[in-house]
Chains A and B, each alone.
Chain A
Amino acid sequence: MSRTVKQFRHAALALGVTALLAGCAGPNPRDPYEGYNRAMFNFNDKVDEYALKPVATGYKNITPSFVQTGVGNFFGNLGDAWTAVNQFLQGKAEDGMTDVTRFALNSTLGILGLFDIASEAGLPKHKEDFGQTLGTWGVNSGPYLVLPLLGPSTVRDTVALPVDITGDIWRYKDPTWIRNTGTVLRVVDTRARLLDASSLLEDAALDRYEFLRDGYLQRRESQIHPDADYAPRKVEKDDTAETSAPVSSEPAAKELNSGTPAAKPDSQ
């Protein structure tokens, strides 16, 4: 067991070094390792295309949906315990108590977590990891980093990863073959849940790498500071005042307005 942690530590270390070596000054200040990151992104993408996605698609199409729900709930319940620990570390006692109650309720009445009765009872699910805890403590995310197989991350979250792995209850499951089978099932089930989202991502993005990066960094920031998104907005407001206000008084812009369905209420 401790061997896995060691392997991960080595991997993280090797990764850090690789990242530093590959570091070339990209145009985005939050992504100085863009060269390395793009290469890793493409590698992950190939693995996904040829191995993970086909298996997950098969799983989604073949397995009855109550089984999929059960698998998701089971591993989600184990995750709730680690979420609770992180809530307390972040000083969010109330949310932490909710998660403890969720874990207790679902593990017993919910039959080892197969049924998420806590959500039905009005205790919403949360997700907190050690990277978020470090963020709450004031640790900066550092540059964007794409991890082998694990995907989007940041330097801070990569440092936090071994702690999250230690806090994962399933990795203490014996015997090994059950643990490994479970881990594979968990990965496939997670990927299956993301099939719809990844097809949306493909539609929405001109450059999937950039789109995922810019979305991911914002999402992490919002998980750590859920109410902080008013600050950048002020800047944007100034931006608007400068750009669109004078433009909209021009006749060309009016023509533009009437050409788009956005102006429909006028005609009603």
Chain B
Amino acid sequence: MNFIKQFIALATVSLAFNAAHAADEAPDALVKRISSDVLNTAKNDKAIQAGDTKKVIDLVETKILPYVDFQRMTSLAAGRFWRDASPDQQKALTEQFRQLLVFTYSGALSQVKDQTVEFKPLRADPTDTDVEVRSQVNQSGGEPIPLNYRVAKGPQGWKIYDINVLGAWLVETYKGTFASEISKGGIDGLIKALTEKNKKLAAKPLNTAAPKK
């Protein structure tokens, strides 16, 4: 029993240490750590490679989500409409947008095969609290895919609030869709559209274009 108590105490301390460590970790080091951790897991896990939806989503939720500021992401994508939304609507919108992004990201992750990620030097002052971390995904038989992150320092340390794939920012890309859904059916209309989309995605397996071999 004593051993278990000690073990728990030790585990708690080491977790706390990790959390504290994450707070002073440089933003590019943080993104690099998460990215290599997730990619290595995705590449080496047979279940994920075979398209196990639940496992991929688990991986995203445990390894990535703690470092993403979904509220900020959603408020930016909603733009000027965010202030008109009630706190309940904001909450529902953030939750549905989060789910959609988790599904999409999990789908992308289950397609990872032989790609490698290369990080570029961070161009920022040590005092900056809002930086862009740049990387590129190298793949055989094609030009490298740019993959950049906007990371901001908040009370809980650095968090990602926007991602750029192939030159397009996620928030900016959703902004148009959000605006047109809101103009059609208000904030509730947008929440409803996102909820329906998520239901559909939850019902269908990831990795529909699963590679043979």
Contact = CB atoms under 8 A, between A and B. Distances in A.
B35 to A, nearest CB: 18
Contact of B68 (A207, A223, A236, A262): A262
A206 B181 contact: yes
**Is chain A's interface secondary structure helix, strand, loop, or mixed overall?**
helix
A257 B74 CA distance: 12
Contacts of A173: none
B91 A236 contact: no
A181 interface: no
A199 B143 contact: no
A210 B180 contact: yes
Contact of B71 (A65, A73, A237, A253): A253
Contacts of A236: 76, 171
A268 B167 contact: no
Contact of A210 (B100, B172, B177, B209): B177
Contacts of B193: 206
B46 interface: no
Contacts of B69: 262
Question: Which interface class (under 10, 10 to 19, 20 to 34, 35 or more) fits B?
Answer: 35 or more
A221 B88 CA distance: 37
B197 A206 contact: yes
Contact of A256 (B19, B71, B82, B179): B71
A205 to B, nearest CB: 7
Interface string A176-210: 00000000000000000101100110011111001
Contacts of A65: 213
A244 interface: yes
B176 A268 contact: no
A11 B87 CA distance: 52
Contacts of B143: 124-127
B71 A218 contact: no
Interface string A11-33: 00000000000000001100000
Contacts of A116: 140-141
B186 interface: no
Contact of B209 (A76, A196, A215): A196
B22 interface: yes
Interface of A: 27-28, 57, 61, 65, 69, 72-73, 76, 116, 119, 124-127, 193, 195-196, 199-200, 203-207, 210-211, 213-216, 218-223, 229-230, 232-233, 236-237, 239-240, 242-244, 247-248, 250, 252-253, 255-257, 259-266, 268
9 closest A-B pairs by beta carbon, nearest first, are: A222-B167, A252-B87, A264-B66, A219-B167, A218-B168, A215-B168, A204-B104, A125-B143, A261-B65
